[in-house]
A and B are shown apart, each in its own frame.
Chain A
Amino acid sequence: MKARQKRIALIAGGLAVLGIAAALVLNALNSNIAFYVSPTDVAAGKAPQGKAFRIGGMVKEASVKREADGVTMAFIVTDTETDLLVNYKGILPDLFQEGKGVVAQGKLTEDGTRFVASEVLAKHDENYMPPEAAQAVADAHERAATNKAAQEAAAGAPAAQQPAAKPAY
């Protein structure tokens, strides 16, 4: 083997070892690298107890309310499987919307039923399109849903609960 081939083998071998080491380290740190946990993880007790952490998911449709004190917001963060009620006192980001992604930092209350957020960030998806196109997509979805309901009604079958597709947040 010539010196040059030896060096090439050394570089390739070094990179391979480095890659494997990095993969193992990242794999071991997996849960620490995650930016947020889902409401399902929280329900399963995977969230840190008594410490601040972040939850992420979608803001449930028609769940955003202002509490009686006039400054606290209440909304439900969902991963379509589990819901978690969030309270937040402060200004919500512009892109905060029902049906859109959200990441909130804060703590669970003692009884574990509510999440009191100290910071709320909007998490938008990777789709970019003009408003007309977005409207067209929404309309098409609505038509499809109406058609489906009509068909099911015509067939006389009870509308089966379809599992919702995983949202792209």
Chain B
Amino acid sequence: MNNRLINWFKYASPQSFYPLAGKMIPWFAAAGAVFGIAGLWIGMAVAPTDFQQGEGYRIIFIHVPASWMSMFIYLVMAFWAALGLAYNTRLSGMMAQALAPTGALMAFLSLWTGALWGKPMWGTWWVWDARLTSELILLFLYIGFIALQAAIDDPRRADKAGAVLALVGVVNIPIIYFSVKWWNTLHQGASVSLNRAPAMASLMLWGMLLMALAFWMYSIAIALYRARTIMLERERGTEWVKETLAAEGAK
């Protein structure tokens, strides 16, 4: 254990993770802004008009990154939840709690932009097809996780209950992703996937990937920011929090 290059377990304690997170936030936030500006510029100004949907397709630059993020954040949240259950680390529960609101926001954005897109293109705001329904369930899972954690006063017990809920909900992620393959749905299949060439013009694809990166960076920055607040709040009785607050107050 001692001959590792980095001792990861060192950062499993809030006390040492707090300053590290503080140092990382500005970098992720700045990267998010840069990718976001580049992505929006390519998406809104440079990428060509679509042959079927005209200019209306440009909502894809928000819709797809938000949808990807909503699924990925859930996986990360479940990963932290499992880690917390298995190793009883304090930080895991805090990370899961910090990720949930961003995940819920992404799921909401995905559904909302999808509805705005569906009306002009398909002719309906909403249908109960497998893709849309499973994404709605994802939003409910996030909200349920947040509500459950908030309902239990003892943070360790809240983490455990939330972790079980988060882990049970993981089955929904492959269902969302593969729903358009397994069943016939109104939602079209994936334009971009790992095992074949993307079904998009390259400039459109670049805009979308840059926006996806921007969403990643934003999510990391905001989750770390939230995690720092949770750390201070949960450990408010400890020496390190008092010292940290005193040092930050002195600045």
Contacts and interface: CB of A to CB of B under 8 A. Distances in A.
B73 to A, nearest CB: 18
Interface stretch (B121-129, B221-229, B237-245): B121-129
Interface in B179-222: 182-186, 188-191, 199-201, 204
B207 to A, nearest CB: 11
Nearest to B134: A33
Interface string B152-179: 0000000000000001101100010000
Contact of A124 (B82, B121, B168): B121
A125 B188 contact: yes
Contacts of A128: 50, 53, 57, 60, 191, 199-201, 204
A7 B204 contact: no
Contacts of B48: 129-132
Contacts of A96: 123
Nearest to B48: A130
Contact of A93 (B82, B123, B128): B123
Given A94-B121, A95-B122, A124 B184 contact: no
A140 interface: no
Interface of B: 48-53, 57, 60, 82, 85-87, 120-124, 127-130, 167-168, 170-171, 175, 182-186, 188-191, 199-201, 204
Interface of A: 4, 7-8, 11, 14-15, 18-19, 22, 26, 30, 33-36, 38, 56, 92-96, 100, 103, 119-135, 168
